[in-house]
Copies of this chain bind each other. A is one copy, B any other.
């Protein structure tokens, strides 16, 4: 069972879309952050500040990345990257468990 060790976790959740998307913020010893989250089935649009790597831990979704015209399918074990300062769309088909890493310059 994979764990993040010697980290801090913010007690309160981040809640979006009336709770259909929620996450918890994990802070590493070097100051970097990841969020561990859940997305229920539905359609969502998100904006990024920093670039992000989204790792899908469970579930299934189709994703429209910025500047693309095709929706791509991502499932457990897959990852995709989203540029900084951009917007992307998600259609979650099966309850999705994810880990989002933020790439600070």
Q: Is A36 an interface residue (CB 8 A)?
A: yes
Interface size on A, residues (CB 8 A): 30
Contact B40 A19 (CB under 8 A): yes
Given the complex of chains A and B, what is the CA–CA distance between A4 and B2 in angstroms? 19
Contact B57 A19 (CB under 8 A): no
Given the complex of chains A and B, what is the CA–CA distance between A19 and B1 in angstroms? 20
Residues of B within 8 Å of A58, CB to CB, are: 12-13, 15
Contact B7 A9 (CB under 8 A): yes
Q: Chain A 26-39, CB within 8 Å of chain B: the 1/0 string?
A: 11000000001010
Q: Given known contacts A8-B4, A10-B1, A97-B13, is B38 in contact with A22 (CB within 8 Å)?
A: yes
